[in-house]
Amino acid sequence: METGGPNPLRDLFDAAARQRTVKLTCRRCRHANSFAAAALWWLFERNGWRDGFADVRKRCICVYCLHRLGEKIRNPEFELTQEAPLDRRYPMPSELDWKRELRRRR
C-alpha cells in the first residue's frame, strides 16, 4: 500500500482517484475478492460511512464464512492493486457525483 511520498493514499477516495483496485482476503478461509476503489468509495459515501482504510476493514465481512459457518469474520487483509476488479456488484459513482467530490476535495 502506498502511504509515503508527497500525496499518500489515506482513504478509498484517494485510491479511487489513482484508479486502484481494493483486494480483500479473509483471514480464516483465505477467500479473496477485489473491487474497484471508486465503487467501494461510492458505497461508503452513500451510506455515510467513514472511508479510511482501517474503517473499510472493520466494515467488511467474508460472505463465504457468513453463509457456511454463520459467523461474521471481519478485518480482512487489505491490499491495493492495479489489477482489474473481480467483483462488480457495486455501482460506480456517476460522473456528476465524482466530479462534485473532486471539486470539494481541492
Is residue 6, in this structure, part of any structural domain at all?
A: no
For residue 18, pLDDT over 70 is answered with yes
Report the distance separating Cα 54 and Cα 37, nearest Å: 14
Report the distance separating Cα 38 and Cα 34, nearest Å: 12
Question: Which domain, by its residues, includes 76?
Answer: 12-105
- What's the predicted TM-score (pTM) here? 0.88
Number of domains comprising the chain: 1
For residue 2, pLDDT over 70 is answered with no
Q: What are 23-81's pLDDT values in tens digits?
A: 999 999 999 999 999 999 999 999 999 999 999 999 999 999 999 999 999 999 999 99
Strand partners, 40: none
For residue 4, pLDDT over 70 is answered with no
Is residue 5, in this structure, part of any structural domain at all?
A: no
